[in-house]
Structure formats: structure tokens, C-alpha cells
Amino acid sequence: MSGHAASAAKATTVEVRLPSRLGFEKVALATAASVARLMGFREERVEDLKTAVAEACINAIEHGNRLNEKLSVGVVLSVSEDSLEVKVIDDGKGMKRAGIAAKPDIDRKMHGEESARGMGMFLIQALVDEAEWVAGTGGNSSYVRLVIRLDKEQ
């Protein structure tokens, strides 16, 4: 985005509130994809973002809110001139992530030495430019913050 559109976009935020029910992550990923396309992201990066947002929402629904449909998941997309930030907020205690999520070990999975599941955080970190897990104060409103940047050549 450039010129007037970029300066107008600086303050732009889009918010979505999801029920804690699996499947509704698709609402968030569709919204994130629409915003990213408006910003001019390449389709390859839009697909990366969709998977990262979906996995962040699934974690929030399953682990943060423990599938409690009385709780909702907030998704806040903040548009800036050269990047899109996505915060996925739940009512859980959060997970403090330091460093890089381990790459799934397919051999261990195939031999039953680790769960076939457990790839969400790895995918999030691998597909976006920044991923940060922030534990909420007082035991709730934890969030994961994702950032995807527009390439200069876009």
C-alpha cells in the first residue's frame, strides 16, 4: 500500500470474535486473508497467514478456552504500512514460549514415540515473520501475536 491509502491504513484495525468451537477458526482465517489481500500480500504469503491464524485460533479454542463455548476468542488485525499484526486472544493462562518451537520429528511420530499431533506452534512460527506468546495477567486474556511483513518487491 502506498500514499494516501497507506497513511489511512496505519490506524486500521479489524476485529472478529469467535465462539470457542472448532471450525470457527475458518472465519478468522478468511478475514485475515481478505485484509492481507487488500494490503497487497502475495497469494503465497496469504496462504501462510491463513494456516498460522487457523492454528493460533485452534490453540486458543482448545487449550486457552478449553472448548468452553461461554468463552470467546478475540482476533484483532492491525494494519500498518508494511506489515499485518494479528493478535489471537483467549481466556486461558497462556503459554510462555521462549525460543523456537521444535520441528516435528516425523520418525518419532511414525514410531509412536511422540504424538502425531502437536505441530500447531511449529507451523505458526515457521509461516509468519514474528510469533510471540504472551501470558495474561491475573490468569486470563492471554494472546499470541503474529506479524507478517510485506516484502519490499511486492
The set of cell numbers assigned to 151 is: 516484502
3-state secondary structure of 45: helix
With contact defined as beta carbons under 8 Å apart, do 120 and 61 qualify? no
Q: Which residues bind another protein (CB under 8 A)?
A: 21-26, 44, 47-48, 51, 54-55, 58, 103-107, 109-110, 112, 115-120, 122-123, 126
Length of the chain: 154
CB of 132 to another protein, least distance (A): 19
Closer by beta carbon to another protein, 68 or else 141: 68
CB of 5 to another protein, least distance (A): 27
Closer by beta carbon to another protein, 1 or else 56: 56
Query: Nearest CA to 122 among 37, 71, 59?
Result: 59
CB of 81 to another protein, least distance (A): 26
Closer by beta carbon to another protein, 118 or else 139: 118
CB of 139 to another protein, least distance (A): 26
CB of 28 to another protein, least distance (A): 12
Closer by beta carbon to another protein, 25 or else 90: 25
DSSP string, 74-124: EEEEEE-SSEEEEEEEESS------S-PPPP-HHHHHTTSS-S---HHHHH
Closer by beta carbon to another protein, 51 or else 80: 51
Tell me which DSSP letter residue 18 carries: E
Compute the Cα dihedral for 59, 125, 52, 74 and give only its sign.
positive
